[in-house]
A and B are shown apart, each in its own frame.
Chain A
Amino acid sequence: MSTITKYQTASTAFVQEAQVFADLYGSAHPTLAAIRKQAIVAFSNRGIPTMKHEEWKYVNLTSIAQTDYRTASPADSQKLSNSDAEQYRYAGKDAILCVIENGKLNVAASTMTGIPAGVRIGSIDDFSSDAAVMSHLFTHASFEEEAMVALNTMLCYSPIIIKVDAKVKCDTVIQLIFATVPGVDPLLIPARVLVVAGEQSEFTVVESYHTLGAGALTFNNVVSEVVVGKAARVHYSKIQVEGDEAQHINYHKVNMARDSYQHLTTLSLGGAIVRNNLNIRLDAEQVNAYLNGLYVLNQKQVIDNHTLVDHAMPNCYSNELYKGIIGDQAQGVFNGKIWVREDAQKTNAYQSNKNLLLSNQASMNTKPQLEIYADDVKCSHGATTGQLDDEALFYLRARGIGETVARSLLNHAFAADVIEQVENETLRESLMQLLDVKLSALQIEA
């Protein structure tokens, strides 16, 4: 079968499954039925993107297209218990743990006690009477433009929702543990998160992705939508430490209202193919957005970070820092776009992408983009790819530090930059530990 036919067959199979799902579960939330129908049309038109598509130029999805996936359904039974989840507790013993097993909330495995007043966490059924929240569901990430959002929209029946009321300051970290439990058949998991931050609220959310046990291939297709209200402050981390075989494509869409602030950290360490799409829309004036990313790859891992910072209004600030260490035969991709729309005067937007290549089989493709339609702006981007500075190495060696130790020290310092900006101390320390475990697995060549 030729590659193109494979892509078509796989796309058709997904559409057929979506139609079966619509018949089985569609009646539960009839308001969403129309959106799902449109998503089916959008996905049928686009199909699984090939490398000919400019936005997918450096990532080969053939391994996804040729795998015969079954989609995780709302009717699947769940296996995990509370002790399975506890090992992934990253933000202290008070933190709320929400376990999402194969795309569906597993209340039994979760630790949902001690949720402060004004904070609600639950599945779609818990929110079906809340019209304000429901109006945000499935509306922010554009399935018209992105085939993979369409795939999620047409197949996802168990979204997770977090709502924080106005003026609520929540110190307890909310951690969403996305646990993938592979089965006998290859599994597509359409997971979805909606976070609604009320005016002047402040809280921290952690999404973490894990694989538990062994089995057939898994493909996480995640869409997160974050609605940041006026003057709200949202700290968000996405941590990917899935198994070696895992495939992961996720869309993260943030809409920011006036005077709001968000800090988003993406840490990618695991998975065979990981694609992160971040789309941050600065929708009003005086918005501050920080996007940080760190990826450390070895073996044959492929990571593709796509970010779009969409400056739609004047007087906003954005700052983006992405760093990567790439070893073995791994491939890194960074595609960062800053888009300043016509009226977005007085925009300050900065972007920096720095990469270390550790091996001659490793590669890094970078595409930092500026698209600017306003004149009174300060925008810049910088991108570097290279290896460790010989002089820094020499400095350490002159002080009696062996070469291997010196190199790992410098690698750590290079990467730690990103994690140090995480505000929550416990979380920061956990991330640092995850990083060190990964760094020690890297082959350090002289």
Chain B
Amino acid sequence: MSEDLKILDEVTNSEYKYGFVSNIESDNAPKGLDESTVRFISAKKNEPEWLLEWRLKSFRHWLTLEEPTWANVHYPKIDFQDIIYYSAPKKKPSLNSLDELDPEIKATFDKLGISLIEQQRLAGVAVDAVIDSVSVKTTFRETLGELGIIFCSFSEAVHDHPDLIKKYLGSVIPHTDNYYAALNSAVFSDGSFCYIPKGVRCPMELSTYFRINSAGTGQFERTLIIAEEGSFVSYLEGCTAPMRDENQLHAAIVEIISHTDATVKYSTVQNWYPGDKNGKGGIYNFVTKRGICMGDRAKISWTQVETGSAITWKYPSVILKGDYSVGEFYSVAVTNNMQQADTGTKMIHLGKKTKSIIISKGISCGKSQNSYRGLVRIGKKAEHARNFSQCDSLLIGDKCGAHTFPYIEVGNKTAKVEHEATTSKVGEDQIFYCNQRGISTEDAVNLIVNGYCKEVFNQLPMEFAVEAQKLLAISLEGSVG
């Protein structure tokens, strides 16, 4: 066996570090999906009538839709009647201090290395921790409250800020948008809500950790971020999930509204359970994420590091409506074993002199399939719009695949759109160069891959950049290209 193959074999055998199950008593909805499930969820959350109506409208629309099949991913048909649509920790947490937190939950976070106390004291990060759909603990809310920033769970926002929710819910991603968006709109359990008032610069990184815990639970998060005129916020989302045999569906929605001169930076590190090396188990990550630059000079920036999930299928997008607005997308997607990823972005240019940049780095190992799919659309009125896209793929091993499907639609002659893509493997000459200087092949590959992803990692906030590099190292553990 050659060195390459041996090390590849080691990688494929490396175990999922975060695979454990915490025993928290769950208050589950009965399995299956019909109108009564939607009513059950709504009742559980004590929701006002208008929201229930909205959910039911979404549900009825969902019934008329067909499951989409156009993506370059393959999986057994999902039985939507075999999913538990609501699961909440039984002890209703309304806590005054961290000490009151369920010790099990706290231990779970400790294993993940995101001790709330640590984070609160040292990192200055406000964490809205979500375990199975109900927001357990929101920290730093008071500090944020002084600035007028609202950062709370979605269900709290429904009760405390119904006007904002009514105004913005579904305004970027309508319930009719796509199959999974309609499903989410019908059965979403909880999520995060964030509102930055006019002219406020959020003093800390806002962060949510999603975890999928109970077996057979689909997770349907909903995040809504509103940045008023001239404000700034950096939002982090991190995901880890325990090891499970059954495939689990995750169909979340993230909506971002960025008003005049506001900037929203949304960073994701996704490390859900990818399934074992035979492709058994793992999360289906079918997420709809979209932001809109409503006003002039608004900016939305997506950064994602996708290392987990059996199937990742998502396209964080930006609608550039305001003149001079800016959309950014930086992505690293690593697939190993039997993982599949079909991810990318959509940049819809509507306003004048709008700009977008897309940097996508795909790395495929094992028997995985990694696709970039993206759309750049320049509307008829988008004078002098500018786009630059670069999609690179790196192949490690001869059983994997890397694919690029960019759609470029230009409807205005003053637009300048550039797209380039390359596919290659780690150069033998590069490895040889490192070997010559006393760097082992394994370290050399790590070095080269890290360098390859640097453009994206540079966009991540510090804590995340460190975590992302660690994740990458785990993914490529003992590896050689």
* A contact residues vs B (CB 8 Å cutoff): 54, 342, 345, 355, 357-387
Please measure, in the bound complex, the distance between the C-alpha atom of A370 and the C-alpha atom of B400, giving whole angstroms.
Answer: 14
Closest to A334 in B: B408
- Indicate if the CB atoms of B401 and A372 lie closer than 8 Å: yes
Not counting A372-B402, A373-B401, a sample of 20 additional A-B residue pairs whose C-beta atoms are within 8 angstroms of each other reads: A54-B70, A342-B398, A359-B413, A363-B409, A365-B408, A365-B409, A365-B410, A366-B406, A367-B407, A368-B421, A371-B401, A375-B396, A375-B400, A376-B398, A377-B395, A378-B423, A378-B424, A382-B419, A383-B408, A383-B420
- A362 touching B413 in the complex, CB below 8 Å, given contacts A375-B395, A376-B398, A382-B420: yes
**Residue from A369, A375, A386 whose CB has the most chain B CB atoms within 10 Å:** A375
Instruction: Assess whether B412 is interfacial by the CB under 8 Å rule.
Output: yes
| Residues of the B chain whose Cβ atoms lie less than 8 Å from the Cβ of A380 | 420-423
Instruction: Assess whether B403 is interfacial by the CB under 8 Å rule.
Output: yes
| Residues of the A chain whose Cβ atoms lie less than 8 Å from the Cβ of B226 | none
- Indicate if the CB atoms of B414 and A379 lie closer than 8 Å: no
- Indicate if the CB atoms of B403 and A357 lie closer than 8 Å: no
- Indicate if the CB atoms of B420 and A365 lie closer than 8 Å: no
- Indicate if the CB atoms of A381 and B415 lie closer than 8 Å: no
Please measure, in the bound complex, the distance between the C-alpha atom of A358 and the C-alpha atom of B422, giving whole angstroms.
Answer: 29
Distance in Å: Cβ of B394 to nearest Cβ of chain A: 9
Please measure, in the bound complex, the distance between the C-alpha atom of A379 and the C-alpha atom of B391, giving whole angstroms.
Answer: 12
- Indicate if the CB atoms of B402 and A370 lie closer than 8 Å: yes
- Indicate if the CB atoms of B397 and A375 lie closer than 8 Å: yes
| Residues of the B chain whose Cβ atoms lie less than 8 Å from the Cβ of A345 | 398
- Indicate if the CB atoms of A386 and B415 lie closer than 8 Å: yes
**Residue from B70, B404, B418 whose CB has the most chain A CB atoms within 10 Å:** B404
Please measure, in the bound complex, the distance between the C-alpha atom of A376 and the C-alpha atom of B425, giving whole angstroms.
Answer: 6
Distance in Å: Cβ of A295 to nearest Cβ of chain B: 15
- Indicate if the CB atoms of B407 and A365 lie closer than 8 Å: yes
- Indicate if the CB atoms of A355 and B413 lie closer than 8 Å: no
- Indicate if the CB atoms of B423 and A383 lie closer than 8 Å: no
| Residues of the A chain whose Cβ atoms lie less than 8 Å from the Cβ of B420 | 380-383
| Residues of the B chain whose Cβ atoms lie less than 8 Å from the Cβ of A378 | 423-424
| Residues of the A chain whose Cβ atoms lie less than 8 Å from the Cβ of B410 | 355, 357, 363-366, 385
Closest to A54 in B: B70
Please measure, in the bound complex, the distance between the C-alpha atom of A286 and the C-alpha atom of B32, giving whole angstroms.
Answer: 56
Please measure, in the bound complex, the distance between the C-alpha atom of A359 and the C-alpha atom of B412, giving whole angstroms.
Answer: 7
| Residues of the B chain whose Cβ atoms lie less than 8 Å from the Cβ of A379 | 422-424
| Residues of the A chain whose Cβ atoms lie less than 8 Å from the Cβ of B397 | 375
Instruction: Assess whether B411 is interfacial by the CB under 8 Å rule.
Output: yes
| Residues of the A chain whose Cβ atoms lie less than 8 Å from the Cβ of B415 | 357, 385-386
- Indicate if the CB atoms of B425 and A375 lie closer than 8 Å: yes
Instruction: Assess whether B449 is interfacial by the CB under 8 Å rule.
Output: no
| Residues of the A chain whose Cβ atoms lie less than 8 Å from the Cβ of B421 | 368, 370, 380-382
Of A369, A374, A377, which contacts B403 at CB under 8 A?
A369
Instruction: Assess whether B470 is interfacial by the CB under 8 Å rule.
Output: no
Instruction: Assess whether B393 is interfacial by the CB under 8 Å rule.
Output: yes
Distance in Å: Cβ of B209 to nearest Cβ of chain A: 35
| Residues of the A chain whose Cβ atoms lie less than 8 Å from the Cβ of B425 | 375-377
| Residues of the B chain whose Cβ atoms lie less than 8 Å from the Cβ of A355 | 410
Instruction: Assess whether B417 is interfacial by the CB under 8 Å rule.
Output: yes
The 5 closest A-B pairs by CB, nearest first: A375-B395, A357-B413, A366-B408, A370-B404, A385-B410
- Indicate if the CB atoms of A386 and B417 lie closer than 8 Å: yes
- Indicate if the CB atoms of A385 and B417 lie closer than 8 Å: yes
Q: List 15 A-B contacts (CB under 8 A).
A: A357-B410, A360-B380, A366-B406, A368-B419, A368-B421, A370-B404, A372-B395, A373-B400, A375-B396, A379-B423, A380-B420, A380-B423, A381-B419, A385-B417, A386-B415
| Residues of the B chain whose Cβ atoms lie less than 8 Å from the Cβ of A367 | 405-408
Instruction: Assess whether B416 is interfacial by the CB under 8 Å rule.
Output: yes
- Indicate if the CB atoms of B418 and A381 lie closer than 8 Å: no
| Residues of the B chain whose Cβ atoms lie less than 8 Å from the Cβ of A371 | 401, 403-404
| Residues of the B chain whose Cβ atoms lie less than 8 Å from the Cβ of A377 | 395, 423-425
Please measure, in the bound complex, the distance between the C-alpha atom of A251 and the C-alpha atom of B478, giving whole angstroms.
Answer: 48
- Indicate if the CB atoms of A383 and B406 lie closer than 8 Å: yes
Closest to B373 in A: A369
Closest to A374 in B: B398
Please measure, in the bound complex, the distance between the C-alpha atom of A344 and the C-alpha atom of B402, giving whole angstroms.
Answer: 14
Closest to A380 in B: B422
| Residues of the A chain whose Cβ atoms lie less than 8 Å from the Cβ of B407 | 365-367
Distance in Å: Cβ of A116 to nearest Cβ of chain B: 43
- Indicate if the CB atoms of A384 and B419 lie closer than 8 Å: yes
Distance in Å: Cβ of B406 to nearest Cβ of chain A: 6
- Indicate if the CB atoms of A368 and B404 lie closer than 8 Å: yes
Of A360, A369, A374, A383, which contacts B412 at CB under 8 A?
A360
Distance in Å: Cβ of A65 to nearest Cβ of chain B: 23
Distance in Å: Cβ of B164 to nearest Cβ of chain A: 37
| Residues of the B chain whose Cβ atoms lie less than 8 Å from the Cβ of A369 | 403-406
Please measure, in the bound complex, the distance between the C-alpha atom of A387 and the C-alpha atom of B396, giving whole angstroms.
Answer: 39
Distance in Å: Cβ of A69 to nearest Cβ of chain B: 31
Distance in Å: Cβ of A28 to nearest Cβ of chain B: 42
- Indicate if the CB atoms of B413 and A360 lie closer than 8 Å: yes
- Indicate if the CB atoms of A370 and B403 lie closer than 8 Å: yes
Please measure, in the bound complex, the distance between the C-alpha atom of A370 and the C-alpha atom of B396, giving whole angstroms.
Answer: 17
Please measure, in the bound complex, the distance between the C-alpha atom of A355 and the C-alpha atom of B411, giving whole angstroms.
Answer: 12
Closest to B423 in A: A379
Closest to A378 in B: B424
Distance in Å: Cβ of A430 to nearest Cβ of chain B: 30
Please measure, in the bound complex, the distance between the C-alpha atom of A372 and the C-alpha atom of B418, giving whole angstroms.
Answer: 22
Please measure, in the bound complex, the distance between the C-alpha atom of A249 and the C-alpha atom of B284, giving whole angstroms.
Answer: 40
Of A54, A362, A364, A383, which contacts B419 at CB under 8 A?
A383
- Indicate if the CB atoms of A385 and B400 lie closer than 8 Å: no
| Residues of the A chain whose Cβ atoms lie less than 8 Å from the Cβ of B398 | 342, 345, 374-376
| Residues of the A chain whose Cβ atoms lie less than 8 Å from the Cβ of B393 | 370, 372
Distance in Å: Cβ of B374 to nearest Cβ of chain A: 10
| Residues of the A chain whose Cβ atoms lie less than 8 Å from the Cβ of B403 | 369-372
Distance in Å: Cβ of B263 to nearest Cβ of chain A: 28
Please measure, in the bound complex, the distance between the C-alpha atom of A87 and the C-alpha atom of B421, giving whole angstroms.
Answer: 44
Please measure, in the bound complex, the distance between the C-alpha atom of A384 and the C-alpha atom of B418, giving whole angstroms.
Answer: 4
Distance in Å: Cβ of B421 to nearest Cβ of chain A: 5
Closest to A376 in B: B425
| Residues of the B chain whose Cβ atoms lie less than 8 Å from the Cβ of A387 | 413-414, 416
Please measure, in the bound complex, the distance between the C-alpha atom of A246 and the C-alpha atom of B425, giving whole angstroms.
Answer: 46
Please measure, in the bound complex, the distance between the C-alpha atom of A367 and the C-alpha atom of B414, giving whole angstroms.
Answer: 20
| Residues of the B chain whose Cβ atoms lie less than 8 Å from the Cβ of A385 | 408, 410, 415-417
| Residues of the B chain whose Cβ atoms lie less than 8 Å from the Cβ of A384 | 416-419
| Residues of the B chain whose Cβ atoms lie less than 8 Å from the Cβ of A368 | 404, 406, 419, 421
Closest to B372 in A: A370
Please measure, in the bound complex, the distance between the C-alpha atom of A332 and the C-alpha atom of B326, giving whole angstroms.
Answer: 27
Closest to B364 in A: A375
| Residues of the B chain whose Cβ atoms lie less than 8 Å from the Cβ of A359 | 413
**Residue from A367, A370, A379, A380 whose CB has the most chain B CB atoms within 10 Å:** A370
Closest to B404 in A: A370
- Indicate if the CB atoms of B416 and A386 lie closer than 8 Å: yes
Please measure, in the bound complex, the distance between the C-alpha atom of A366 and the C-alpha atom of B418, giving whole angstroms.
Answer: 11
| Residues of the B chain whose Cβ atoms lie less than 8 Å from the Cβ of A361 | 380
Please measure, in the bound complex, the distance between the C-alpha atom of A387 and the C-alpha atom of B220, giving whole angstroms.
Answer: 45
Closest to B378 in A: A385
Closest to B420 in A: A382
| Residues of the B chain whose Cβ atoms lie less than 8 Å from the Cβ of A386 | 415-418
Distance in Å: Cβ of B68 to nearest Cβ of chain A: 11
Please measure, in the bound complex, the distance between the C-alpha atom of A368 and the C-alpha atom of B416, giving whole angstroms.
Answer: 17
Distance in Å: Cβ of B341 to nearest Cβ of chain A: 14
| Residues of the A chain whose Cβ atoms lie less than 8 Å from the Cβ of B396 | 375
- Indicate if the CB atoms of B411 and A363 lie closer than 8 Å: yes
| Residues of the A chain whose Cβ atoms lie less than 8 Å from the Cβ of B405 | 367, 369
Distance in Å: Cβ of B339 to nearest Cβ of chain A: 15
| Residues of the A chain whose Cβ atoms lie less than 8 Å from the Cβ of B414 | 360, 387
| Residues of the A chain whose Cβ atoms lie less than 8 Å from the Cβ of B409 | 363-366
Please measure, in the bound complex, the distance between the C-alpha atom of A360 and the C-alpha atom of B352, giving whole angstroms.
Answer: 14
Closest to A369 in B: B405
| Residues of the B chain whose Cβ atoms lie less than 8 Å from the Cβ of A382 | 418-421
Distance in Å: Cβ of A81 to nearest Cβ of chain B: 45
Distance in Å: Cβ of A246 to nearest Cβ of chain B: 25
| Residues of the A chain whose Cβ atoms lie less than 8 Å from the Cβ of B401 | 371-373
